[in-house]
Amino acid sequence: MAEPVTDPPPTPPATAVPSPTSSTGSAVVRRLAVAFTFEKFRNLWLAAFTSALGTWMQRLAKQLLILNLTGSAFILGLDTFFAEVPLLLFTLVGGVVADRHDRRHLLMASQTLQMACALALAAMVFFDVTRVRYILALSFTAGLAQAFGGPAFQSLIPALVPRQHLPNAVALNSIQFNLAQAIGPLIGVLVLAALGMAGCFGINGLSFLAVIAVLGLMRLPPPPPGTRQRMLTELRGGLSYVRHGGALLALTLLAFATTSLALPLRTFLPVFAVNDAHLSWMMASVGAGSVLGALVVAWLGKFDHMGRTLLAVQVLFGGIIAAFALLPNSGFSYVLLFLSGTALLMIFSLTNSLVQLAVPDELRGRVISIYLVAFRGGMPLGSLVSGYFISQYSAPPVIAINALLLSLVAAAFLIWNQQVREL
């Protein structure tokens, strides 16, 4: 991540002396939110936030729907697997497609397909024709749309803000998604009570219209034409660079370990919940902590010993999750979930920043896509395996063992991997 953006000190009017507190507060706000001064970024952020609220409402409703239909933690994990595995299979292709076509149109197509999936879920529930196999098929289809829309969205951001403000824009996007995670489930409980599950799915479907409308009205210069090579040749070059780049390979493995061992907690939160309201507050606690984690990383920018900080936070993160899984439900559980969200977002942001800093520009797209495959691919595999063991035993010991394994992996890298430790 680049150094944090700072504005030149303002020249005070000759007739007034600014309050030190007011001046400091304004500087903090400008430093954290400078990307919002650009209209295109601001409009897309607001639209994406609206859509993300619907996404988290749907996630809450869908988890409850699956549990009501099956009562099976394994099916809950299987749904996450079907939703995430397209990202593992097609993100590399999606990155190449995003470089070859109009990213705005590609993202609009992705949003339209996801909207159709949400409205189909609403229709199934409304007409009482819900089947688990239909839910899994729609989850896979929505994940396929995300595999192509995700790279297009990430590639679009640099066209919305000047290059020097790009790190701030990336951090604000993280805040947008996690703020929606904090608020969306709470709204979802209200919608569930008023309109039922079909209402949650239907409102999520309509929320995609916000992004589609903003993209449709947005005018951007077309990306400059580049030299195209065979897709397989480009992918091999990126894989070779990661394989022989010690720090990059280590960071990719750490990302996979984090998502496969830690993120299943999000999938199986309903198993720990006493009722719908309890689940919504647990999800909101994780989301609120994630917002804080994103703000911390946005404020820090690039600093010394980022690698050591990353590994230390991962060790601590595993301990927090293990404590949540093994301790009885209480008010302290919300604190642990809040801290887990903070640590998780710090891990994601620090890992992503270190990968970005280690990659040369000519290989950035391919290497980042490989990192994203490892990053996103860990969750469906981890959820599927964890779901199987939870169905055989119970959720608390499985989640706790996963978390302790993550702490051991991070501690091993902290002790023995000098390349990451010195980043």
Any domain includes 414? yes
Say whether 269 sits in a helix, a strand or coil: helix
User: Which of 218, 240, 272 is the last residue before a domain boundary?
Assistant: 218
Residues 145 and 184 occupy one common structural domain: yes
Give the integer Cα–Cα distance in Å for 105 and 67.
37
Residues 151 and 213 occupy one common structural domain: yes
Any domain includes 407? yes
Tell me if 172 sits within 8 A of 33, measured CB to CB: yes
| Token representation of residue 273 | 């919940």
CA-only gyration radius of the chain, Å: 22
- CATH code at position 112: 1.20.1250.20
| Token representation of residue 203 | 């409102």
Residues 127 and 239 occupy one common structural domain: no
Residues 153 and 205 occupy one common structural domain: yes
Any domain includes 18? no
Tell me if 340 sits within 8 A of 317, measured CB to CB: yes
> pLDDT tens string for the chain (423 positions)?
333 333 333 334 334 444 555 556 566 666 677 778 888 999 999 999 999 999 989 988 998 899 888 888 788 888 888 887 888 788 777 777 776 777 788 889 999 999 999 999 999 999 988 899 999 999 999 999 988 887 778 777 777 877 667 667 777 777 787 778 778 888 888 999 899 899 999 999 999 999 999 999 988 766 555 556 666 665 666 666 666 666 777 888 888 888 888 888 877 888 888 777 788 788 788 878 887 887 887 777 667 788 888 889 999 999 999 999 888 777 888 899 999 989 988 888 788 777 766 766 556 556 777 777 777 777 777 877 888 888 788 888 888 898 899 999 888 888 877 777 666
Give the integer Cα–Cα distance in Å for 308 and 311.
5
Give the integer Cα–Cα distance in Å for 414 and 325.
25
Give the integer Cα–Cα distance in Å for 320 and 339.
7
For residue 306, how many other CB atoms are within 10 A of its CB?
21
Residues 194 and 301 occupy one common structural domain: no
Residues 212 and 237 occupy one common structural domain: no
189 class by beta-carbon count within 10 Å (0-12 exposed, 13-18 middle, 19+ buried)? buried
90: nearest Cα among 133, 148, 27:
148
For 312, what's the count of Cα atoms within 13 Å in the CB-facing half-sphere? 6
Give the integer Cα–Cα distance in Å for 347 and 401.
19
Give the integer Cα–Cα distance in Å for 77 and 130.
18
Look at the chain and report how many structural domains it folds into. 2
Give the integer Cα–Cα distance in Å for 278 and 133.
28
Any domain includes 295? yes
Residues 362 and 414 occupy one common structural domain: yes
| Token representation of residue 74 | 């394994």
Any domain includes 276? yes
User: Which of 218, 243, 269 is the last residue before a domain boundary?
Assistant: 218
Name residue, tokens 């606690």.
285
Q: Which residues form the domain of 154?
A: 37-218
